[in-house]
Structure formats: structure tokens, C-alpha cells
Amino acid sequence: MTAAVVSRQYACAKCPLRARAIFREFTAAELDYISTFKTGELTVDKGATVLVEGAHSAHLFTVLQGWGFRYKLLPDGRRQILNYVMPGDLIGLQGSLMEEMRHSVEALSPMLLCVFERDQLQDLYRNYPGLGYDITWLAAREEQMLDENLLSVGRRTALERAAYLIAFLHHRAVTVGIGTRGIFAIPVTQQHMADTLGLSLVHTNKTIRKLINAKLIRWRDGGCQVLAFEKLTEMAGWSPDLEEKRPLL
Amino acid sequence: MTAAVVSRQYACAKCPLRARAIFREFTAAELDYISTFKTGELTVDKGATVLVEGAHSAHLFTVLQGWGFRYKLLPDGRRQILNYVMPGDLIGLQGSLMEEMRHSVEALSPMLLCVFERDQLQDLYRNYPGLGYDITWLAAREEQMLDENLLSVGRRTALERAAYLIAFLHHRAVTVGIGTRGIFAIPVTQQHMADTLGLSLVHTNKTIRKLINAKLIRWRDGGCQVLAFEKLTEMAGWSPDLEEKRPLL
DNA sequence: CGCGGTTTTGAGAATCCTCAAAACCAGTGG
DNA sequence: CCACTGGTTTTGAGGATTCTCAAAACCGCG
């Protein structure tokens, strides 16, 4: 058993995630509506596939807890990780809007998801245009992240790429409030890193080792921990955008 | 003079682009509204910058004619082309939704653009939720293309990548109705290709030469012409999705 | 203790890069 | 009509990066 639907835990208004500073305030009416839109919660085991390429998903999800990643495969099995998902992110939008999903999503850790019905999406746009706008905003944000990733894979050196990726994930996690109590681990293996960076496992390992030896990161608790965020961003030639408040569906 | 605003040419209902098979039907009311939303047209010279990274654009554009590309730069000038734009594509959405643009857009050929006011976007969502939905759909489509591009740059070999890129652009162009009268040229230089593929100019040239020697493409009229589309897609391990009808703003 | 998954190391080979220069080509001005 | 110019494509060559193959080391867990 890799996934299980659980009954509603709490109303959206009381969602602990929503209280975090990065998310914008919703009106009471919006919260009520979202509560209707939400049909349940879903827990997913680490390693389980949340959404699979080719399917036409009947659901949309908001991540409440845990990490996952989006990826695509070539016919012969080569894998490219496109982006990571973490609390507050919306997944499955493509599968809801288009005929079918063009990528898959897998859980990196146990995940807790909020489930929405695809069929209610039209209704949402009609009754709460502001929320529709929010969904577009979230899609534009995803595009922004992909742009930066593509720049990285296409034009940064292996070392810059690794530094960028780690800094990027760390920054997102901190922004959304993961590991506010000190150092936390990004729950990936070096194989995941390799498939994100567009490098082989062996070369990824050698590259990451340089970052470890330079004491910019360490590898512990089944993942990657950041020790010197600034040095990573500098190495990558990247500066994080200042984060505006964002919607949470 | 690289860009000039022109007075309104014709109502959206009579837009010649809209008549093409790939675009979905709009209701008379929608067309009326879009006509209001549209504030003018803009011509842009080949090589001119349409939108620049860092700016907070007051405008949104729909491409009516011509080709362009979106790109990002690293601090030292390395360039990654993220995607191409052609008739029917919406550009500048990011700059309208977020604080500022995270990429630039440049014209590959003379372009004709439809201009919309960013400030009216909220109004559009409120009054025509279906159009809001359309905009989200377009954003999701852009994401889909980026996903495939990232897969390509990250995991395909140089030859596969080149084959994919050319097949991809050719397919998009055909779908939107460019060059329906026989063979047409994709208006790029090999430098553009290189910056899209994440390769050096020299290696790109050698790779493209293989495709030319195999008679899959030819290089003529200042661009790339496709001679054997199927062979390209097969070489890339890619099959184009079937194209649903899409909105045109 | 044994097992499977993950990280590490070594080594030779393929890919891709940089540097440098030549060839080609379309447009400009004499 | 031709020389000149700037942009683009092509070629060669040596070198750096990255890959594959293979095996060892490590590590948490049953």
C-alpha cells in the first residue's frame, strides 16, 4: 500500500501551513470556497508515484507535507528530473488542463497531499476569479523555476550547477518554513542530483565531493545539508529573487 | 528605430490568425471583450529586444507574425535560449504577474505583436473567467514545452538534441500554419541553436552537419529547413503530442 | 551477519570545449 | 561591377570535461 485517502483532517482556515509568513492572506469567503473544493487528503509513501505520465488526472493536489519531484523519461529509460515539489506547491495542473500529463511525480519522502477535483476547476474560475488568477500565478512561478533550471543545465559548469541546485532547494525550503529550527537535510540521493543536473552519477559524486571538501555542504541523514549558502550562490552566479507572498490553494 | 506602435489594424474578430484551424472558436462576446483588451499593435525589427529581464512590464503581447526567442544570461554573458515564440503565443505573462521579468525576449525576424495592458488582466479574470482559464492553459503549455526542452538538454546526446530541437520547431510552425505552402526556413543561426542546445558553436556546427549530410535537413535562406521530419523525431526519441485546439488572445 | 541501496574510487574512452583561422556570403559603397 | 565589411559557417587540433565500466567501501536495517 503506497497511498491512502484519509478523511478530512481540518478546515482550510486552520491549515497550519497557511499560517506561515510566505503565504498571502485569504478572505473568509475564499477559505470557505477552498474548503468545498478540497475533497480529502492523501498520504503517499516515500518512493511512490503520485502522478504518472500519460494519464489524464482527475485530481489536483496541494502539497501539505513532504518532498517530491517531477520527471520525464526517454524511451530507453534515461531520466531527467525537472523540478522538485514541497509544501505549498500545486501539482497535477497540467494533467487537469490538458488531455494528459506529460511528466510523472514521485515522492522523495512521505507526503501529505490536499486533493482537489479537476472538474471543479471551471467552477473556481467562474466564482472566484481571484483564485483563478492565483493558479495562473503559480503556473508562472513554475515556469520561472524551470527557466532557471534550464539555464543551469544548459550553461553552467558541473560545479556551478551543483552549487546552484543545492542553494536553490535550500532557499525554497527555508522560504516555505522547512527546518526553521536549524540545519535540515534535502532528502535526495546523488542519483537524484545527477538526474537533475544532467550529469552521470559518477561525475556528480566527484563534483559534490568538491563542495563537501570545501565545507559548503555536508552529506548526512540521508540527504544534503547546506553549510554556506552565500558561498554556494556566489559560486553559481545566482541570487535568489526576493520572494513575494504567494497563494496557497 | 527598432519598434513602433501602430494604430489598430483590424478587430480581433477579423484577425487572420484566428481563422487558422489550430485555434478554438471564441464567442462573439469574448471577441468583443478581447478587442477592448487590445490597445494596439507593435512592430519590432529583427534583432530587437521585445522584453528585457529585470523590467516590470506594463504590457502583454500576443504574437501575430514573426519569430522570436526567450533567453536568460549568466553574469558573465553565457546565454541560454529557453524557448521560441511564434504566432499565437502569449509573451510577457511573467512580467505582468510577478514583480519583474526573469528573462528577455528578442525578435528573430520582424514581428508584429498585439498589445494588451497588464492592468486589465484582473478585469479579464473577473469578467471572462473562461479567458482566465485560457491564460492558465497557455502557461501550462509553456511549461510543457520547457519540460521537454529540459529533458533534451539534460539527457539527450548532442545529435538527439539537435534533431529534437529542429523537429520541435518545425512541428510548432506547421501546426500554427507557417509555411503551409511547402518548405520554409526556421530563421535561426547556428549560434542560436548552440545557445538552445547548451553546446558550443563549433560542436553545434559539427552536429548539424551530420544532419545535413544525412539529408534530414538543409541550411538555406538564412535558416534551417526540414527534409525528413519523421527521421528527426525518431532520432530524437520524440513523438509530438497531438495538438488540441488552443485559445488565442 | 547479511543484504540492498548508496557513495566512492580508479582508469581508459568518448564527448565536447577552446582557440585559431579560413571560407563563405549578402549587403554597401566606390 | 568589384572590393570591402561584418556576420555566419566550416575546419583543424589539442585539451578539458564528462562518460562508461567495474569494483570496492560504506551504511542502515532486518
Contact flag A150-B146 (C-beta cutoff 8 Å): yes
- Which of residues 147 to 206 on B have a Cβ less than 7 angstroms from any strand D atom? 189-191, 201-202, 205-206
Pairing of strands B111-117, B38-44: antiparallel
- Is A10's pLDDT higher than 80? no
Assign B2 a pLDDT band (cuts: 50, 70, 90). low
Mean pLDDT of all residues in B133-161: 98
Tell me which chain B residues have a C-beta less than 8 angstroms from the C-beta of A237.
Answer: 74-76
The 3-state secondary structure of chain A reads CCEEEECCCCCHHHCCHHHCCCECCCCHHHHHHHHHHEEEEEEECCCCEEECCCCCCCEEEEEEECCEEEEEECCCCCEEEEEEECCCCEECHHHHHCCCCCCEEEECCCEEEEEEEHHHHHHHHHHCHHHHHHHHHHHHHHHHHHHHHHHHHHHCCHHHHHHHHHHHHHHHHHHHCCCCCCCCCECCCHHHHHHHHCCCHHHHHHHHHHHHHCCCEEEECCEEEECCHHHHHHHHCCCCCCCCCECCC
Nucleotide nearest to A198 (CA to C1'): D18
Nucleotide nearest to B222 (CA to C1'): D8
Distance B191 CA to C23 C1' (A): 18
Q: Give the separation between CA A74 and CA A54, rounded to whole angstroms.
A: 13
Mean pLDDT of all residues in B149-161: 98
- Is A158's pLDDT higher than 70? yes
Contact flag A133-B137 (C-beta cutoff 8 Å): no
Pairing of strands B38-44, B3-6: antiparallel
Contact flag A72-B148 (C-beta cutoff 8 Å): yes
Distance A206 CA to C9 C1' (A): 10
Tens of pLDDT, residue by residue over B111-126, are 999 999 999 999 999 9
pLDDT at A2: 58
Looking at strand C, which nucleotides approach a protein CB closer than 7 A? 5-11, 15-20
Dig out the grid coordinates for A175 from the structure.
522560504
B184 alpha-carbon distance from chain centroid: 16
Distance B82 CA to D10 C1' (A): 26
Dig out the grid coordinates for A3 from the structure.
497511498
Let me know: does A43 contact A112? Beta carbons within 8 Å: yes
Higher pLDDT, A149 or A6: A149
Contact flag B125-A129 (C-beta cutoff 8 Å): yes
Distance A209 CA to D29 C1' (A): 26
Assign A217 a pLDDT band (cuts: 50, 70, 90). very high
Q: Give the separation between CA B64 and CA B53, rounded to whole angstroms.
A: 22
Let me know: does A11 contact A35? Beta carbons within 8 Å: yes
Contact flag B94-A144 (C-beta cutoff 8 Å): yes
Let me know: does B69 contact B83? Beta carbons within 8 Å: yes
Q: Give the separation between CA B217 and CA B97, rounded to whole angstroms.
A: 39
A221 touches strand D (CB under 7 A): no
Tens of pLDDT, residue by residue over A94-135, are 999 998 999 999 999 999 999 999 999 999 999 999 999 999
Mean pLDDT of all residues in B188-207: 98
Nearest residue, CB atoms, A136 vs list B82, B132, B150: B132
Contact flag A136-B136 (C-beta cutoff 8 Å): yes
